Amino acid sequence: MNRRAPKKRYPPAPLPGGDSALINRQIGKYELMRKLGSGFSSTVYLAHDPFTQRDVAIKIASPDVLRDPDKGRIYSQLFLNEASLVGKLNHPHIVQIYDAVVSETACYIVMEYIAGGTLERHASPSQLLPVDRVVELIFKCTRALEFAHRLDITHRDIKPANILMTSERDIKIGDFGAALTGLSRIAQVGAIGSPAYMSPEQVQELPLDHRTDIYSLGVVLFQLLTGHLPFQAEDQADLVYRIAHEAAPRAASLRPDLPPALDAIVARAMAKEREQRYQNWQDLAQDLANTVLLGLLPNARHDFPESERFHILRTLPFFTDFSDAELWEVLRFAQWRRVAPGDLVLHEGDPGNAFSFVAAGQLTVSKGDTPLDVLCHGDCFGEMAVLNRQVSTRSADVIALTESDIVTISGKALEQASDACRLHFYQGFIDVLVNRLNIANQRLAGA
């Protein structure tokens, strides 16, 4: 089969010299288009994969660094480390690693290309994001890092430059080259990571666990809220000493209008002693979500921010077996609305091809003048219109008794969901129907 060569859509850029693999602006099967950035040990290019017909980012190791007698082994190991994660970090808020080559003639990592820049540009006093937006983005970071932790992966280099923005309210965490994994705990010490974001145990070269990432994310949260780092110094030695021995300032000391609850979250995440920090990602995520749920943030949106939506779905029994990735998928196609007492949610005889969940409040179900049931938090209704395609009309009225939050999913959206997500929905429907049957049998037995 003939495959047309992809069009080059960007002007050519100079490539690093001395590497014959790059002479024709191609490495492996990938066509290099332009340089995105460079650092001490590598250069990142925008490239095109002619087989999948998608743009990718390729991080290419600097040949000079790899040949360095002192640092070459360390940076080769970092590339091997990241290469070992190909296909493992499948999460909506983690940059995907598609491919990797680590050999004597070529050393590169092929990743998902994110065009939106990083959080680094919002870490200065003049470019701060709204507080509720910061909370939402950091909440998503906690979900991604908890996912990595469940795979026994500690990132070890969390900073704004490694958190990429896919939109104004969405992020992906990248650069797992410095990560510690359960299979390889080598290189826990040494100059790995960014000193300003390191935990006290990391700068002291002590054994690390996920709580070092919790500390680093706390520093990122501090900086995104205040525009300043908690510790600053004229040289690295002084910075390391301050991180290891001095108490971090409170974020509210630099920004007095911060809600006390949020200031407390930052302080706990950055506690100098590991035992005083958040001990797991779930507790940190819960506290961040509560600042939204309890209305503690200034100028927060009155609709449903994604952090709140995720938390709501996670608390519904129907979604207990859904993975984080599947819940984020549900967030993409679910419709959210708030109804007032007395509002008609479903009308008997009306056509319909959607089902709903009660996220908050109470609703009554009736047929004619006969009340049938009261729906409360977590209850599912309307699913028969999706399960029974022969009957596409509503069989009862559903009316709000109190102000209620409703999550609705259309049958069409469900059909387009991933296989794993759709399977969990049908398993949940079976549980709902079995539970209703048991309740009906109990009522008959007591009649």
% the chain with pLDDT above 70: 88
Strands 180-181 and 170-173: unpaired
Residue 191: helix, strand or coil by DSSP? Answer: coil
Whether pLDDT at 238 is above 60: yes
Q: What is the pTM of this model?
A: 0.74
Give the type of residue at 55. D
Q: What per-residue confidence (pLDDT) applies to 19? A: 44
Residue 447: pLDDT band with limits 50, 70, 90: low
CA gap 288, 307 in Å, rounded: 8
The predicted-structure confidence for 308-361, as pLDDT tens digits, reads as follows 788 889 889 999 999 888 888 898 899 999 999 999 999 988 888 899 999 999
Catalytic residue of the set 49, 55, 157, 213:
157
CA gap 438, 433 in Å, rounded: 9
Q: What per-residue confidence (pLDDT) applies to 389? A: 66
- The mean of the pLDDT values for the chain is 85
Place of tokens 């990122």: 220
Average pLDDT (362-389) is 88
Residue 128: pLDDT band with limits 50, 70, 90: very high
Please report which helix (H) or strand (E) contains residue 363, including its range: strand 363-367
The yes-or-no answer on residue 157 being catalytic is yes
CA gap 161, 2 in Å, rounded: 41
